[in-house]
Amino acid sequence: MMLVLAVIQLIAISAVSAALYDVTKYGADRSGGIPSTDQIARAINDAAIHGAGIVHFPPGKYLTGPIELKSNIILDIADSTIITFLDDPALYPPLDATLPDGKQRRIEFTPLIRGVGVRNVAIRGNCVLEGNGAIWWDRLPPPATRPIFIYFSGSHNIVLKNIIIRNSPMFNVNIIWSNSIVVDGIRIRNPESYKGAGPNTDGINLLSVNRVHVTNVDVATGDDCLVLDAWGYGKDRDPTHDVLIENSHMSIGHSGVGIGSITAGGLRNITIRNCVFDSVCRGVDIRTNNVRGGVVEDILYQNLTMNNCTWEGISITALFPDYKDKGWHPIGDQTPFIRNIRYENIRGSAEREGIYLVGLPESPVENIVLENVDMRSKKPNPILLQNTRNIVINGRRY
């Protein structure tokens, strides 16, 4: 994939030419006993002042508050290093930011690691990033908002490689209004549930992004393992497009790979292939409703294994989460359209329907092809179709 080569090459060139900024030279404590928030910030700011830099964490244990990344910075973390984030709410005040294109963004807590309006940034290392999530979940149980772990907004050329993210207070990776993104080899671990429903700990949450490659990730979390959304309001539409997700393992989450329910901006040209989903609620799903709008089209699912889905295996619904009003409505700006979806070489099992496709009376789910698909189900009828048009399942037209 040319995007991946271009972004990795760009970061590699930066690594060759950039100076090394060792956080311990700025006084960071690698015993884990003393917070190093200010020392880490000084290393990053020094690198940014000089135009670029590799901010290096030698082996050890570090304790820190939030980290703000700057353009042309590689956060390079030595193998087996553990960075633990402090849980004091006073360190994570509300964040107001203006993006390069003038968009305003406010989030209720400063993320643990953030980059807003940055370019050419990487976080890499066979290391552990520990978020102290249980303290936050007890303090602010669902559906309360808590800090996001890794957050990028309005940014370009982002690489996340090989890191382990553990116990995020809320979303683990959240990237919005950004492009040219590579997520490679990262591992995410959050509990399946915590005193009830999973505490909004989406693994990888991408909103209004394009030119994205996610590969070799391993996600087990209490909410969606990976979700793609697209923001839109009125005439302002920010689509998600040109996304490849491959060679990955997802488990125990609400969905293996979910599209929506924020669909107003439109999502297109997305491929999910060569992945295994274990004990997720839904294997792959597309979800929206008649107030979300947007066009979801040109999606390819290929070579997937879905073991023990606790709900549906393959799911499309325009009645998410469970809209009671299932009658006909005039087509308008908020009407969603789901079409041109293809599933190839998929095997698995589900507690509910193996194939669940539900559209709207005024906007049927249409042009869906399932080829060489074997989704076993405990339901007497493993296929449910409502408000659909031109559906082909293993050569049979419905």
Confidence of residue 5 (pLDDT cuts 50, 70, 90): very low
pLDDT in the model for residue 175: 98
pLDDT in the model for residue 202: 96
Q: What share of the chain in percent tops pLDDT 90? A: 82
DSSP letters, 261-296, are: S--TT-EEEEEEEEEEEES-SEEEEEE--TTT--EE
Compare 324 and 283 and report the one with higher pLDDT.
283
Compare 117 and 199 and report the one with higher pLDDT.
117
Q: Indicate the number of domains in the chain.
A: 1
> Each residue of 184-220: b (16+ CB within 10 Å) or e?
bbbbbbbbeebeeebbbbbbbbbbbbbbbbbbebbbb
Predicted structure pTM score: 0.94
Environment class of residue 237 by beta-carbon count within 10 Å: exposed (0-12), middle (13-18) or buried (19+)? Answer: middle
User: For 129-154, what is each residue's pLDDT tens digit?
Assistant: 999 999 999 999 888 899 999 999 99
The helix/strand/coil state of 125 is coil
Please state whether beta strands 240-246 and 164-166 pair in parallel, antiparallel, or not at all (unpaired). Answer: unpaired
Q: What share of the chain in percent tops pLDDT 70? A: 93
* Tokens 């005024």 found at: 362
What range defines the domain where residue 339 resides?
2-397
Q: What tokens appear for 230 in the block?
A: 């697209």
Q: Are 248 and 218 in contact (CB under 8 A)?
A: yes
CATH code (residue 349): 2.160.20.10
The answer to whether residue 99 scores a pLDDT higher than 90 is no
Alpha-carbon gap, residue 254 to 269, rounded angstroms = 23
